Amino acid sequence: MLTEERHLWACALAVEKQHGADAPRFVTTRIGALALAGDDAGVERWKAIAAKMAALARP
């Protein structure tokens, strides 16, 4: 069973794989678009994905 935590990790890995070095910019753009649309839940989800990506980047 895929927990929410594992789903977030999977999303972070997929974004990094698809966007490479541009992944942080992609996530920032996504968060901005969701914020402008008033989608607070979407913003929180993408912030959580961004946090997972940051954790992956740490040595």
The pLDDT confidence band at residue 59, using thresholds 50, 70 and 90, is confident
Residue 15: the pLDDT is 97
**Dihedral angle over CA of 25, 7, 17, 37, nearest 10:** -30
What residues does each domain of the chain span?
22-59
What does the pLDDT look like over 2-47, one tens digit per residue? 899 999 999 999 999 999 999 999 999 999 999 999 999 999 999 9
Q: Mean per-residue pLDDT for 52-58?
A: 92
Rounded-to-integer distance, Cα 13 and Cα 53, Å? 7
Rounded-to-integer distance, Cα 31 and Cα 39, Å? 9
pLDDT of 1 higher than 90 = no
C-alpha distances (whole Å) from 40 to each of 2, 57, 58 are: 23, 26, 27
Q: Mean per-residue pLDDT for 42-56?
A: 97
